[in-house]
């Protein structure tokens, strides 16, 4: 490596620095202060599918990786960690979801640091990232295991274990990466105005019953019933999508039976979102509910309200987490009140 550190030397091929970085399994790339990519190692090629020739000289914003955070927020044009590091000189570590060349997103743990010249001036930024797909799958498996164990351990025992883990703070909320499913019955208000309370209760119990069975089948938990709506929580976004699809399929069969009985069809809207939520006990000393709250939950409800009838709509945060994203297509870009950035919503093809 030359004694004088310059932008040119950082991007030069055949140097000791480039040879060392190319031996790493982790992805490494270096950008100048304008975030123009000047170096791209073999690890980055392996993880992203992009060769050095395809990206060198281009900018992060040129539709290369299009990083989003865990809540689906596009980072390249707003809260870019690389831009922050170059501006402040502080290192940043985050879990993000870059876009692979083939079109799917992958979870990576990224570490970003500034690079300085011999005089201490920041001239570039370096990002080192690692594919954590295996670790994410293990985390999801562990969460599923924990959920399964709860079925075979008394609530008192489980509560004591949790209190020990949380150092006796049983009421503290936990920040968790979860997927929220909102589902409601379309046209319920007109139905309720023209039918007896008995017919309304029969219809709701019929639908809620099948929804609960399917939700549990996919390791989900119905957090609450809200009038004619359901809010369910899943550890794995793939399970949430699978549950929604099976509910739709079962609803078709149910509607065929209702048609024979000369009863109205039931139609639903489904919205799904993923990200960090606060899960904890909310209530009074005499009664508490374990529930989830946060922007991710509110956004799931908004997606459900805007969804087409008898289809499944998901956020980009959820789309990034599922194994077969090609089953969905971009439906719309939504502007949400109180949020600066619009969100992309995907709908199930042939839904």
Full DSSP string of 21-85:
HTT-SSEEEEEETT-BEEEE-HHHHHHHS--HHHHTT-BTTTTTS--B-TT--B-TTSS-HHHHH
What's the pLDDT at 88?
92
pLDDT(182) > 70: yes
What's the pLDDT at 144?
85
Residue 181 and residue 321 in one domain: yes
End-of-domain residue from the set 99, 131, 163: 131
Query: Would residue 160 count as lying in a domain?
Result: no
Query: Would residue 136 count as lying in a domain?
Result: no
> What's the pLDDT band for 72 if we cut at 50, 70, 90?
confident
111-170 pLDDT tens trace: 999 999 888 999 999 999 999 998 888 888 888 877 777 665 545 446 655 665 665 555
The CATH number of whichever domain residue 316 belongs to comes to 3.30.70.1230
Beta bridge partners of 124: 32, 115
Query: Would residue 292 count as lying in a domain?
Result: yes
The CATH number of whichever domain residue 96 belongs to comes to 3.30.450.20
What's the pLDDT at 289?
65
Q: What DSSP line would sit under 246-303, residue for residue?
A: HHHHHHHHHHHHHHHTT-PPPEEEEEEEEEEEEEEEEE-SS-EEEEEESHHHHHHHHH
pLDDT(312) > 60: yes
> SS3 for 228?
coil
Percentage, residues of the chain above pLDDT 90: 50
Query: Would residue 183 count as lying in a domain?
Result: yes
Query: Would residue 175 count as lying in a domain?
Result: yes
Residue 186 and residue 335 in one domain: yes
What's the pLDDT at 28?
95
What's the pLDDT at 1?
43
State in Å, rounded, how far the first CA of the chain is from the last one.
57
What's the pLDDT at 11?
79
Query: Cβ distance 265 to 214 under 8 Å?
Result: no
Q: What is the mean pLDDT of the chain?
A: 86
Mean pLDDT for 167-186 is 79
Query: Would residue 233 count as lying in a domain?
Result: yes
> What's the pLDDT band for 290 if we cut at 50, 70, 90?
low
- Give the residue numbers spanning the domain of 244: 171-348
What's the pLDDT at 238?
97
What's the pLDDT at 351?
63
**What is the number of structural domains in the chain?**
2
Query: Would residue 155 count as lying in a domain?
Result: no
What's the pLDDT at 129?
95
């Amino acid at each position: 490596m030359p004694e004088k550190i310059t932008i040119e030397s950082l991007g030069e091929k055949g140097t000791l620095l480039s040879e060392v970085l190319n031996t790493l399994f982790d992805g490494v790339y270096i950008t100048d202060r304008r975030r123009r990519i000047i170096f791209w190692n073999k690890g980055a090629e392996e993880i992203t599918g992009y060769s050095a020739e395809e990206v060198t000289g281009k900018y992060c914003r040129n539709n290369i990786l299009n990083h989003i955070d865990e809540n689906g927020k596009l980072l390249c044009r707003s809260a870019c960690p690389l831009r922050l590091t170059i501006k402040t000189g502080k290192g940043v570590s985050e879990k993000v979801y870059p876009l692979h060349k083939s079109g799917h997103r992958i979870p990576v743990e990224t570490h970003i640091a500034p690079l300085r010249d011999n005089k201490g001036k920041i001239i570039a930024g370096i990002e080192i990232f690692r594919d954590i797909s295996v670790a994410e799958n293990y985390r999801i498996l562990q969460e599923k295991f924990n959920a399964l164990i709860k079925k075979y351990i008394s609530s008192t025992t489980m509560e004591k274990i949790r209190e020990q883990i949380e150092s006796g703070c049983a009421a503290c909320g936990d920040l968790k990466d979860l997927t929220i499913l909102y589902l409601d019955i379309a046209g319920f208000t007109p139905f309720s105005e023209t039918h007896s309370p008995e017919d309304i209760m029969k219809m709701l119990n019929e639908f809620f019953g099948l929804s609960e069975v399917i939700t549990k089948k996919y390791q989900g938990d119905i957090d609450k019933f809200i009038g004619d709506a359901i809010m369910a929580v899943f550890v794995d976004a793939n399970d949430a999508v699978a549950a929604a699809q099976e509910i739709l399929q079962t609803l078709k069969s149910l509607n065929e039976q209702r048609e024979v009985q000369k009863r109205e069809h039931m139609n639903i809207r489904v919205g799904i979102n993923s990200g960090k939520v606060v899960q904890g006990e909310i209530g009074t000393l005499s009664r508490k509910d374990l529930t989830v709250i946060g922007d991710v939950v509110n956004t799931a409800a908004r997606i459900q309200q805007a969804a087409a009838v008898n289809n499944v709509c998901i956020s980009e945060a959820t789309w990034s987490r599922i194994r077969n994203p090609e089953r969905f297509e971009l439906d719309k870009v939504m502007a949400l009140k109180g949020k600066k950035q619009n969100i992309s919503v995907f709908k199930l093809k042939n839904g």
